[in-house]
Amino acid sequence: MQTVGFVPECQTSIGEFRVAVMGLYASVGAPIDSPQDVSRTFGLDKNLTWKLARVMGTDDTSEALHHLPGANAIKILLRAMKQAGADASALERVRVAYAEIGRVVEVHVGDRSTLELVLDGLAQNGQERLEVSRKIAFRGNSGVWGVQAKAKVTVAVLAPNADDPSTLDSAFVRGYVGFRRLRSEMSWPLSVNRNWKGEGKPADTRWTPLVPEDVENGLPLLHEFTTEQRPVFTQVQTQHGMYYMLPPGPVGNTAAFDCFFGDLTRGDVPRYRTEEDRSGEFTSVISVPIEHQLLDLLVHRDLAEGFRPEAYVFGDPLGGQGFGSADQSHCILPIDETVRQLPGSPPITVTPVYSRYAEMVEMVYARAGWNPADFVGYRLMVKYPPMGTSVSVRFALAERP
């Protein structure tokens, strides 16, 4: 006999439980969409009746499982409904359906917490895939590594070079909002600046500080948007790029800070595709546990025709030891996010993750000598991106006229 696949078997058992509870409610005249009334009428805990209402009200297996009551709660439910005169067959159907869920869990994954993680990757009906797993990873990595931040903010701005329109000028700003240590001894790379071309070869892009007067120990800081009470950062050059390091220091909210770095390059980015370069890409490496990654790409209108940026979240399970930077198709994670066009002209860039973000974007335009009304904006927002991944916005380069 062919073994029933795990996913359909799990879906069937959860579905049968939902139907069984609906039948039990019907046998005693309990409304399935009013958990407060059920709680008062049958003397049940309101948290239990709320969970049951959520289970009955969704056809999403992952969501139903998330709200599934524990075994003791089900015993309490059956006892209360029996006292209220529920049909014996209805009570037995709920008991059998709940036991079947337990059997499916034991056979396939061993426990319910593991089952939740499996179904998390199969989220549907608008739920974010891996949302539960990503939240768990955020908390776990925060504890393991001893650092975390509310948000990482990245903005890239592209415009044709005035002297050579076949090349592009590019401004690149990145930084953290609410960065804090959870252990005092931690030293941490806050940012790394790397450039690639073609088949993963380092590029000789010449970056200059966006605000030269703010340079500190070689770091292209943006003082206006960096918390005044902050650590002194250090700069470390390696074969992989330039790292901006946070030294050890105090922990918690009182030592939390915002910090941003900004660079500008003129005419070093190709505008048109070549045999070596077919696409452009801006990437944010997730090296800190963060709640939100905001990545904006602001593109001059001369480049906007046919511009179709796409989002990717790449993972590298070998920590950079086994995969090159050129072809990452084998390690795309199932985190389905969409690059959305920002409304307005100039693009409206306000965001709840950083109250001064629009002001910072205005500063970038001004420093580069660009008119904000000449730009079109695109935004990618990822919640709880896992550490060790790269959040990327990729776009095809235009054919040379």
Contact in structure between 121 and 137 (CB atoms under 8 Å): no
Peptide bond into 346 cis (omega under 30): yes
What is the rounded distance in angstroms from the CA atom of residue 62 to the CA atom of residue 119? Answer: 5
Domain 141-396 grouped into CATH 1.20.1070: no
Contact in structure between 353 and 153 (CB atoms under 8 Å): yes
What is the rounded distance in angstroms from the CA atom of residue 287 to the CA atom of residue 237? Answer: 17
pLDDT of residue 2: 39
Task: For the chain, give every domain's residue range.
Answer: 6-120, 141-396
Task: Copy the structure tokens of residue 358.
Answer: 């629009």
Judge whether residue 26 has pLDDT over 60: yes
Query: Per this entry, what is the length of the chain?
Result: 401
The pLDDT > 90 percentage for the chain reads 49
Tens of pLDDT along 135-149?
Answer: 889 999 999 999 999
* Per-residue three-class SS string for the chain: CCCCCHHHHHHHHHHHHHHHHHHHHHHHCCCCCCHHHHHHHHCCCHHHHHHHHHHHCCCCHHHHHHCCCCHHHHHHHHHHHHHCCCCHHHHHHHHHHHHHHHHHHHHHCCCHHHHHHHHHCCCCCCCCCCHHHHHHHHHHHHHHHCEEEEEEEEEEEEEECCCCCCEEEEEEEEEEEEEEECCCCCCEEEEEECCEECCCEECCCCCEECCHHHCECCECECHHHCCCCCCCCEEEEECCEEEEEECCCCCCHHHCEEEEEEEEEEEEEECECCCCCCEEEEEEEECCCEEEEEEEEEEEHHHCCCCCCEEEEEECCCCCCCCCCCCCHHHECCCCCCCEECCCCCCCCCCCCCCCHHHHHHHHHHHHCCCHHHEEEEEEEEECCCCCEEEEEEEECECCC
Average pLDDT across the chain, whole number: 85
Judge whether residue 356 has pLDDT over 70: yes
Q: Of 65-79, 104-118, 230-244, which one has max mean pLDDT? A: 65-79
pLDDT of residue 120: 61
User: How far does CA 335 lie from the centroid of its chain?
Assistant: 8
Q: Of 116-130, 332-346, 351-365, which one has max mean pLDDT? A: 351-365
Looking at 45-49, 117-121, 332-336, 383-387, which range is the least confident one?
117-121
pLDDT of residue 80: 95
Judge whether residue 125 has pLDDT over 50: no
Tens of pLDDT along 178-227?
Answer: 999 999 887 888 776 554 444 445 455 578 999 999 888 778 889 999 99
CA-closest candidate to residue 326, choices 359, 362, 277, 367: 277
Task: Copy the structure tokens of residue 110.
Answer: 């061993």
